[in-house]
Amino acid sequence: MIELTDVHKTYAGGVRALDGAGIRIDAGELVGIVGPSGSGKSTLLHILGTLDRPTSGQVRIAGHDVGALDDAQLSALRASRIGFVFQQFHLAPGTTALDNVADGLLYSGRRRTERRELASKALTRVGLGHRLKHRTHELSGGEKQRVAIARAVAGGPALLLADEPTGALDSVSGAGVMELLGDLHRDGTTVVIITHDSDIARSLPRQVSIRDGRIVSDSSTLVGGRR
């Protein structure tokens, strides 16, 4: 599903965010990528999600060589294969849970009725079938994150990238979100969780540590950044 080989990312001013990072994640895995602030994990997320391009190195996502794709092809890859969950939810204020999820499918080419049907199914899947018409301000933090997860998976992506998905939640709501991500993994979705919380990472089947832009440890057997 994911293969990064000797990936570097340098920003203006010579800031080196990734320094030869390499990782392989197979389809169906549940992986935690853990590191402190400034370790490069957010940059890694952007590279994994094709939101940014590396300065050098090779990135393959779902069998595609990202470096060989133009911007339109990358957008199509994200729309069809990758779902994103962010710490701050990014829900539209004053909009119902159903519309927040359905609007996430606007660029999928589906008709409005199909988008709303998929949104309803996704919200039911995450335990919010009874909250379809509730607006953003009427939802708890945990419910908002579940709406965000429903939006990410409504189109049936093979890969789900979650960036600090429990960071804005209390411990009970956070545990519920982690359980939900585990359920999605058991249903066959490849799930990658970016976190600074080592306890969350240790609860996952595979833990990858990043520091100073490099993969420094991996609980799977790796040689030179690759399994």
Note the pLDDT of residue 221: 54
Note the pLDDT of residue 97: 96
* Separation of alpha carbons 221 and 176, rounded Å: 30
| 172 band by pLDDT with thresholds 50, 70 and 90 | confident
Indicate the Cα dihedral angle 97, 128, 123, 132, nearest 10°.
-40
pLDDT at 108 over 90: no
Rounded mean pLDDT, 99-120: 91
Q: Which fold has domain 2-218?
A: Rossmann fold (3.40.50)
Residue that the structure tokens 């545990």 belong to: 175
Residue 156 phi/psi, 5-degree rounding, is: 70, 45
Q: What is the pLDDT of residues 51-76, one digit of tens each?
A: 999 999 999 998 899 999 999 999 88
Distances in Å between the Cα of 100 and the Cα atoms of 80, 90, 188 are 18, 9, 24
Q: What is the pLDDT of residues 120-159, one digit of tens each?
A: 999 998 999 999 999 999 999 999 999 999 999 998 899 9
Residue 64, sorted as left (phi over 0), alpha (psi -120 to 50) or beta, turns out to be beta
Rounded mean pLDDT, 73-87: 88
- Please report, for the chain, the start and end positions of each structural domain, with discontinuous segments joined by +: 2-218
pLDDT at 107 over 90: no
> Across the strands, what pairs with 2?
25, 61
Using a 10 angstrom Cβ sphere, with 0-12 exposed, 13-18 middle and 19 or more buried, the burial of residue 225 is: middle
Q: What is the pLDDT of residues 11-53, one digit of tens each?
A: 988 889 999 999 999 999 999 999 988 899 989 999 999 999 9
pLDDT exceeding 70 applies to what percent of the chain? 97
Cβ partners under 8 Å of residue 190, min gap 6: 1, 2, 25, 26, 27, 28, 29, 30, 158, 159, 160
Q: What is the pLDDT of residues 186-212, one digit of tens each?
A: 989 999 999 998 889 999 999 999 999
| Residue bearing the bigger pLDDT, 78 or 7 | 7
pLDDT at 226 over 60: no
**Least reliable range by pLDDT among 98-107, 122-131, 165-174:** 165-174
Note the pLDDT of residue 227: 47
